[in-house]
Amino acid sequence: MTPSNALVFTVLPFLPRALSWGTLGHTTVALIAQNFISPKTVEFTQHLLNDTSSNYLANVATWADSYRYTAEGGFSSPFHYIDALDSPPETCNVDFGRDCPEEGCIVSAIANYTTRAQSEEVGLVEQQKALKWVIHFLGDIHQPLHVENLNVGGNTINVTFEGEKTNLHHIWDSNIPEKLVGGYAMSDSIAWAATLTAEIKNGTYAEEAGGWLQGLNGKDGIESAMLWANDANAFICSAVVPDGVDGVEGKELDGAYYDSAIPVVQLQIAKAGYRLAAWLNYIATGKVGLKGGYGVLLTSLCSLSGNLMSINAFLFKSIALGVQKD
């Protein structure tokens, strides 16, 4: 039996959701991942994507956003987010049973398409689609407003940014990253990815990066995706709406709010790229980890037998590290 091609999708009225992180964020996540994946994973992904160019992952990083607006791909629209029914800014959390409906969500989609990306039984075309979804969804799940229900993930919270009327979701997707970097061309993504990669290897994030992979379990995509979803969702309370909707509604956010958001955006893009690399390594090799001594050792999942968490804890202790709502 092959994994399902699409999680059951029921057409319901909903507000269109935004393109998480925009082009800049998604291509940067993919480029960071390229800097950490193993040689075998490079070979696997380039073969599957039929692309040996220098930006082979980045070239498909936004495919899922285009595909979901086609007649063929409309079923995938709910897979770009999960609507956490929490109560920010008092409480922030994601609960799979509570928040992921029968038609699916980003958490179940990551699990499903991870399995399909590994399966030759589904055919080359579907395996390629699955890989492209995984590349994209690993970016989406790190955008805080893609793991939050509040005001349709911030889409109905009207704000102003640099004098232009927009919404809260959009400024986190695009305005903040693009103002920070200066554009959204591939060259901008390449430069930003290089900066964040350096920070992961021997800069701001060097000491904490290994912890970003803690709990990674390729055999249980839902478990891993839920860790990432809750990690991102916590920023709803601490950074996105720390003073509630009234704290941002109708306000100009390109000043102090922008300044406080920059560290969160940088951190989440870095995490997404690093975790994507480790996840792609699992898809390609069946092993968890990254090259170059960063993060978890490459260890066969088959030998972990449910003890992944305790083994990871031992490894991290023993190894010194050198919305979608439119």
26 catalytic? Reply is yes
17 catalytic? Reply is no
Catalytic residue among 142, 146, 170, 275: 146
* DSSP states of 119-156: -GGG-HHHHHHHHHHHHHHHHHTTSGGGS--HHHHHTT
212 catalytic? Reply is no
Burial annotation 89-105 (CB, 10 A radius, 16+ → b, else e): beebbbebeebbeebbb
134: nearest Cα among 44, 260, 205, 211: 44
140 catalytic? Reply is yes
With the C-alpha atoms ordered 41, 119, 218, 200, is the resulting torsion angle positive or negative? positive
Catalytic residue among 116, 142, 169, 170: 169
Ordered by where they begin, the domains of the chain are: 22-318 (1.10.575.10)
Angle at 294 between CA 207 and CA 215, to 5 degrees: 85
Specify the amino acid at residue 116.
R
State whether residue 166 is helix, strand or coil. Answer: strand
98 catalytic? Reply is no
Per-residue model confidence (pLDDT) at position 21:
79
Per-residue model confidence (pLDDT) at position 289:
78
Write out the two tokens for 276.
């994507």
Catalytic residue among 26, 142, 170, 275: 26
Per-residue model confidence (pLDDT) at position 88:
98
Q: What is the DSSP letter of 14?
A: -
Per-residue model confidence (pLDDT) at position 14:
39
With the C-alpha atoms ordered 93, 97, 98, 102, is the resulting torsion angle positive or negative? positive
- Map tokens 């990066």 to a residue: 209
131 within 8 A of 48, measured Cβ to Cβ = yes
Per-residue model confidence (pLDDT) at position 102:
95
State whether residue 244 is helix, strand or coil. Answer: coil
Specify the amino acid at residue 239.
A
> How far apart (Å, rounded) are the C-alpha atoms in residues 227 and 111?
13
47 catalytic? Reply is no
231 catalytic? Reply is no
Catalytic residue among 68, 116, 142, 170: 68
With the C-alpha atoms ordered 33, 39, 41, 47, is the resulting torsion angle positive or negative? positive
Write out the two tokens for 220.
């249980």
Catalytic residue among 136, 142, 170, 275: 136
Angle at 60 between CA 231 and CA 94, to 5 degrees: 20
> How far apart (Å, rounded) are the C-alpha atoms in residues 178 and 175?
5
Burial annotation 237-276 (CB, 10 A radius, 16+ → b, else e): bebbbeeeeeebeeeebbeebbeebeebbbbbbbbbbbbb
How far separated are the first and last CA of the chain, in Å rounded? 36
Per-residue model confidence (pLDDT) at position 20:
60
Catalytic residue among 83, 86, 173, 231: 173
169 catalytic? Reply is yes
Catalytic residue among 17, 63, 65, 133: 65
Per-residue model confidence (pLDDT) at position 291:
59
300 membership: H or E segment, kind and range: strand 299-300
80 catalytic? Reply is yes
170 catalytic? Reply is no
Instruction: Report pTM.
Output: 0.85
Reduced to 3 DSSP states, what percent helix, strand and coil does the chain have, rounded to the nearest 5?
A: 60, 5, 35
Cis peptide leading into 89, omega within 30 of 0? yes
Catalytic residue among 17, 80, 116, 170: 80
Ordered per-residue pLDDT tens for the chain, 326 residues: 344 444 333 333 334 455 567 899 999 999 999 999 999 999 999 999 999 999 999 999 999 999 999 999 999 999 999 999 999 999 999 999 999 999 999 999 999 999 999 999 999 999 999 999 999 999 999 999 999 999 999 999 999 999 999 999 999 999 999 999 999 999 999 999 999 999 999 999 999 999 999 999 988 999 999 999 999 999 999 999 999 999 999 999 999 999 999 999 999 999 999 999 999 999 999 987 785 544 433 333 333 333 333 323 322 223 233 333 44
Per-residue model confidence (pLDDT) at position 116:
98
